[in-house]
């Protein structure tokens, strides 16, 4: 495990802290939404789609009016851009919700597929939008993006029980987490999810995330207490 992650877990353990980590892209920031707008400016929008529609088409990889390899190359470069990182729009209400959640159960840090080279820019973005000043765990620069989700799942599992849960928008991480993982995943932006042995709580909005964290605070505390002294 990366030395930064080992040190992060040790710091939490030494302080007796237990808390949640939060994803960034499409959870706190409209990353793909912003990229979709930039792509439309650069490469055109022949079907006159809205930015939201473009975003959904990009996620679904259904963009026949653009050259896939050219767009992919641009996207990888954009993901490494500090300037673009600081321009991402905030998802409305996420800042206030995270502030309230932090009063209920500690926000221990942020866990993201963004690579370490843009960690400082990410920290500046978080500060600009008033999010809690906590460590940002980033994908090593040497690790390819397509290897990132397994890395993220392995990291989350390793950080348990100091990190007792995750707020994230993606279902992909479920493919890599062990079925024995006991943390709670608050699935932002969803009302349903495939059958799973994991403890998953769908939350359509950020208000729902906050309400569900409050509702499950006792189980979050119990989850951590059961594991005290084991990690």
pLDDT digits (tens, 9 = 90+) for 135-189: 999 999 999 988 999 999 999 999 999 999 999 998 899 999 998 999 999 999 9
- Burial classification of residue 52, based on how many CB atoms lie within 10 Å of its CB (0-12 exposed, 13-18 middle, 19 or more buried): exposed
Q: Is the pLDDT of residue 231 over 70?
A: no
Nearest Cα neighbor of 124 from 84, 79, 86, 98 is 86
Q: Is the pLDDT of residue 59 over 80?
A: no
Q: Indicate the pLDDT class of residue 190, thresholds 50, 70 and 90.
A: confident
- Return the SS3 of 168: strand
| Ordered structural domains, the chain, with CATH | 3-29+91-226 (3.40.50), 31-85 (no CATH)
Residue 230: per-residue pLDDT: 47
Mean pLDDT of the chain: 89
Starting from the edge strand earliest in sequence, which strands make up the sheet with 163-168, in order?
136-139, 106-115, 19-22, 163-168, 184-188, 199-203
Element (H, E) at 188: strand 184-188
Across 70-79, 98-107, 181-190, least confident range: 70-79
């Amino acid at each position: 495990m990366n030395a930064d992650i080992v040190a992060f877990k040790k710091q939490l353990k030494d302080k007796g802290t237990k808390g949640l980590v939060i994803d960034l892209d499409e959870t706190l920031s409209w990353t793909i939404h912003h990229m979709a707008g930039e792509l439309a400016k650069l490469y055109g929008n022949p079907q006159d789609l809205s930015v939201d529609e473009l975003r959904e088409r990009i996620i679904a990889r259904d963009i026949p009016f653009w050259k896939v390899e050219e767009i992919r190359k641009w996207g990888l470069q954009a993901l490494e851009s500090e300037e673009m990182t600081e321009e991402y729009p905030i998802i409305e209400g996420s800042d206030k919700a995270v502030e309230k959640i932090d009063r209920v159960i500690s926000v221990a840090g942020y866990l993201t597929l963004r690579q370490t080279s843009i960690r400082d820019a990410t920290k500046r973005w978080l500060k600009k939008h008033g999010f809690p000043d906590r460590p940002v765990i980033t994908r090593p620069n040497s690790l390819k993006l397509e290897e990132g989700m397994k890395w993220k799942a392995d990291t989350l599992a390793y950080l348990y029980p100091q990190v007792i849960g995750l707020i994230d928008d993606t279902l992909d991480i479920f493919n890599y987490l062990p079925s024995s993982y006991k943390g709670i995943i608050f699935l932002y932006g969803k009302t349903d999810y495939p059958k799973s042995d994991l403890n998953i709580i769908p939350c359509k909005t950020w208000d729902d995330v906050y309400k569900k964290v409050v509702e499950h605070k006792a189980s979050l505390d119990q989850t951590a207490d059961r594991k005290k002294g084991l990690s």
